[in-house]
Structure 1
Amino acid sequence: MTLNTIEANQARQALDQYDEIWLFGYGSLIYKVDFPFTHKQPAFITGWARRFWQGSHDHRGTPEQPGRVVTLIEDAGNRCDGMAYKVTADVFEHLDHREKNGYLRHEVALHLIEPTGDITQKLGLIYIADQDNDAFLGQTSEKKIAEHIAKSSGPSGENAEYALLLASALRTLNADDDHVFLIERYLRSI
């Protein structure tokens, strides 16, 4: 698959078929909300693990020196926390461009965490960079990932800033993510 997934995403779902559209953010969409929404609340999905295995050629790195950003890897026993946004279909013109570097839109069962602590299930949309995309960098140790991140930057800034902001946002959500927090510890020691 090519790096630019804008056209592929525009052909994936007919957005007018949804009565309401919920978007799930698990990476920078948690803390960098540069799109309009009508409602947001903490949420989680199951069966997926957040991993710094995707290359960033256009935001936190360059084509010559891609940074590392998160994607999701199937993991049956895992819970991935993030933020859900209720949006309108026109938001996806911007989001498809923002998430164009190998990410495709998928439908996912989304669990909204209500202020009462109750869980409401909704159908949501999510961007996932599958391992068959051209920007996928794959698995390596958290230490090597942190070393890679520490050396990378791109048009959207330092790759380390992305990782540290994500770790902070997850703590604000009271989310537990050993992978992200271990990379954060390595980054702070470099």
Structure 2
Amino acid sequence: MARTRAMALRLLDLWRRLALVYQTRDLLNALTFQLRVTKTAGIMQEFWIFGYGSLMWRPGFEYLERRLALLRGAHRSLCVYSHVHRGTPEHPGLVLGLDTGGSCKGVAFRVSEANWEATIAYLREREQVTMVYREAVRPILLGGESPMEALVYLIDRKHPQYSGKLGLDQQMSFILQGRGVSGSCPDYVRSTVEHLRELGIHDSELEAIYAKLDREALLSHTR
């Protein structure tokens, strides 16, 4: 009994140390990004934010312009274990992130300079509950125009909530069990696909999961 208790205390201490490392790293990342944003704000003519998931139809901030956009070098993927919005730590769901490689069609929002800092603060509160994303400034394409710099949220591949590349059946198991403060994971996937369709954006991975959700729903009604 004493040995088991001692082992549990050592594991608890190790977890606390790891948590402190992540908190310190995330604080440094936030400070570094804040310096970059402040510097960029002094030279940028326009301020853009790139959305690839729920941000596309539910931005939650004031904007001057909304445009279809293309981001190169990252792709939309269900690669984030959701512990808050669409799941719990015990029963995680699966939500979208921007993972390395490929490209992603999404929506860009132009924000006024006066609202830039407040918008970033809002996005951090919304997107960075567990600090699973990395804030970055990347070029995006708006139609045939020259590239514009935009704020994007990229998945942090070193974060424990990064799932990596999962197979369809693995994804489905997390999606079906996911329930969080913002609702169910199946509803999240369905809403994403339906909004992408309205925008004329086809995402083959999400369409395959949508079809599988339809089959699961049909089977549940016939049981």
1:94 to 115, 122, 125: 122
Q: Structure 1 length normalisation: TM-score?
A: 0.87
2:145 to 94, 114, 119: 119
1:9 and 1:60 map into 2 onto residues whose CA distance is: 24
- How far the C-alpha of 1:129 sits from its partner, in A, is 1.5
Structure 1: which 5+ runs fail to align? none
- How far the C-alpha of 1:85 sits from its partner, in A, is 0.7
Q: Structure 2 length normalisation: TM-score?
A: 0.75
Percent identity of paired positions between Structure 1 and Structure 2:
27
Q: Which residue of 1 aligns with 2:191?
A: 165
Where is the strand percentage greater, Structure 1 or Structure 2?
1
Amino acid aligned to 2:181: P
> For 1:166-185, what aligned pairs fall within 5 Å after superposition?
166-185=192-211
Q: CA 1:63–1:4 in structure 2 vs 1: closer, same or farther (change >3 Å)?
A: farther
- Secondary structure of 1:50's counterpart equals strand
Q: Which residue of 1 aligns with 2:98?
A: 72
- How far the C-alpha of 1:174 sits from its partner, in A, is 1.3
Q: In terms of mean alpha carbon deviation, does 12-21 or 39-48 score higher?
A: 12-21
Structure 2: which 5+ runs fail to align? 1-20, 217-223
Amino acid aligned to 1:12: F
Q: CA 1:6–1:162 in structure 2 vs 1: closer, same or farther (change >3 Å)?
A: farther
Runs of 4+ in structure 1 displaced over 6 angstroms?
A: 3-6
- How far the C-alpha of 1:5 sits from its partner, in A, is 8.5
Greater relative contact order structure (CA < 8 Å, 6+ sep): 1
- How far the C-alpha of 1:122 sits from its partner, in A, is 0.1
Where is the helix percentage greater, Structure 1 or Structure 2?
2
Larger Rg: 2
- Secondary structure of 2:84's counterpart equals coil
Q: CA 1:79–1:40 in structure 2 vs 1: closer, same or farther (change >3 Å)?
A: same
Q: How many residues align?
A: 184
